[in-house]
Homo-oligomer: A and B are copies of this chain.
Amino acid sequence: MNHQLNKRKIINDPIYGFVTLPDDFIYELINHPYFQRLRHIKQLGLTNLVYPGALHTRFHHAIGAMYLMTEAISVLQAKQIQITEEETQATTIAILLHDIGHGPFSHALEHTIVKGINHEDISELLMQQLNKQYKGKLSLAIKIFNNQYKKKFLHQLVSSQLDMDRLDYLRRDSFFTGVSEGVISSDRIIKMLNVKNDELVIEEKGIYSIEKFIIARRLMYWQVYLHKTVVSAENLLVNILVRAKQLAAKGVDLFATPALSVFLKNNFSKKDFITRPDLLDNFASLDDYDIFTSVKVWAKHKDKILSMLCSNLVNRKLFRIELKREKIELSSKKELIKMCMKQYKFTKKEASFFVVSGEVENSAYRTDNLKINILMNSGKVIDIAEAGDQLNVEVLSKTVKKYFICYPKDLIIKK
C-alpha cells in the first residue's frame, strides 16, 4: 500500500485543488514529450492581449478535463452504471489526449503555414503513434474517442454538448480571464449526470445548472472567444504568417527556429503527415515560443510589410476593428485599401495586408443532433429545449453571425 502511495502524483490546480493522477500509465503519457509540449501552447492564443490572466495552457486544460472525467465516472458508478476499470482508464486517456494535435495559435496556423491538415487529424495521428509506442495500450481509448465503442455514453463524456472538455474549458477560461459571467458549476452538473438507454442524461434536479451553463457559454462567446480585440489580433497574426510564407517562397532570408522553418518553406498535405513520421515529430516540436520569437525578430526585418505587421503585434498596436450585424460592403473595404495605399505609400497588394474583413459566429447550443437530454423524475427523457419551461432555449441557441473589418489604428479616415 505504502509503496503505491508514494507513486501517486498530485498536481495543484487553482480551480479544483489537488488533482490526483489516477494511475502509472497515465502518468507516463503525461510525461511523454507529445504531451509535455502542450505546456507551451496557450489555450486561448492571443486572448491574453485583452485578458492578461489568460495564459493557461492546453496542458492544464487537458489535466483539468481528465480530473472531471474521473469525477464523472465515479458519480456514474455510484449510481450503479457499469463501467469497468479498463473502460475507466480508456475514457480518461481519451479525454486527456483529445486536444493533443493542437499546434500553437491553431486557428492562425491552420489558415496559413500548415494548411494541408487540421488539428483533429493530427490528434488522431499522434494517438496512433503513441498506441504504437505503447504496444496497443491506447486501442480502447481511440475506439471511444472515435465513437466506435459499444457503450456510446463513454464517447459522450469525451465529446458532446456536455462533455468534460467543455465543462473544463468554460470554467478554466472564465477563471483565468476573470470573466465571472462565464463561471459554471461543473461539480453540480457532474453530480446530476446519469445514463439512460446508453445515453448520457442530466437528472431533472440539475435543470437550472444546465440553463446557467448554456447562458454562461453564450456570454463567454461574446466576451471572450469572439471579443473584437482578440479577433483583430488573430487576423494580424494570420497576415504576418501569410507574408512570412510569401517571403520564404521567394527565398528571402528569414529568422526562424528549425521546426518553424520547415513549415515556412514547404507545403505539406495530410498524406505527407501520414507517410513521414519525422514531419509529425517536427510539428510536435512547434509551440507558441517558435511563433512569437520569430515575430519579435521579424519586427526588425527589412521587408516593410512584415516588420510593420510584426511590430504592431509585439507592441500591441492592434488593428482597429468594427463589428457589424450587416455584411461589410466591398466598396468600403476598397476605400480603406486606397487610403492605406496613399498614407503608407503601399501598392494595392501590400495595402491589402492591412485591411481585413470576415465574419464570426457563435454557436451556443445546437438544436440538431447534439441535444442535452434531461431525465425527468417521471423516468421520461426529454430535450432541455422542451424541459426548461422557464427559459426559451431556442432563443439562446440561435446562431448569431457578425461581420468585421480591420484596419490600422493610425489610418486617417476621410469620410
Q: Show the binding face of A for B, using Cβ within 8 Å.
A: 1-2, 5-6, 10-15, 17-18, 20, 31, 33, 36, 39-40, 48-53, 55-57, 59-60, 63, 79-80, 175-181, 183, 185, 187-188, 191, 194, 203, 205, 208-209, 211-212, 215, 218-219, 222-223, 255, 257-258, 285, 287, 289-290, 292-293, 296-297, 300, 314-316, 325, 377, 379, 389-392, 395-396, 400
Residues of B within 8 A of A222 (CB): 208, 390
| CB-based contact B181/A209 at 8 Å | yes
This chain: how many copies in the complex? 4
Q: List 15 A-B contacts (CB under 8 A).
A: A12-B50, A14-B53, A14-B176, A17-B187, A31-B316, A39-B49, A52-B59, A55-B57, A181-B185, A181-B208, A181-B212, A212-B215, A222-B390, A258-B297, A395-B395
Q: A304 to nearest B CB, angstroms?
A: 19
Residues of B within 8 A of A188 (CB): 17-18, 180
Q: A362 to nearest B CB, angstroms?
A: 8
| CB-based contact A20/B325 at 8 Å | no
Q: A311 to nearest B CB, angstroms?
A: 9
Q: Are A296 and B285 CB-contacts (below 8 A) given A52-B59, A181-B209?
A: yes
Q: A115 to nearest B CB, angstroms?
A: 24
Q: How far is the CA of A178 from the CA of B52 in the complex (A)?
A: 18
Q: A310 to nearest B CB, angstroms?
A: 12
Q: Given A39-B49, A55-B57, A219-B390, 5 more contacts at CB 8 Å?
A: A14-B177, A180-B185, A181-B211, A257-B297, A289-B293
| CB-based contact B36/A316 at 8 Å | yes
User: Who on chain B is nearest to A192 by CB?
Assistant: B18
Q: How far is the CA of A249 from the CA of B358 in the complex (A)?
A: 51
Q: A400 to nearest B CB, angstroms?
A: 6
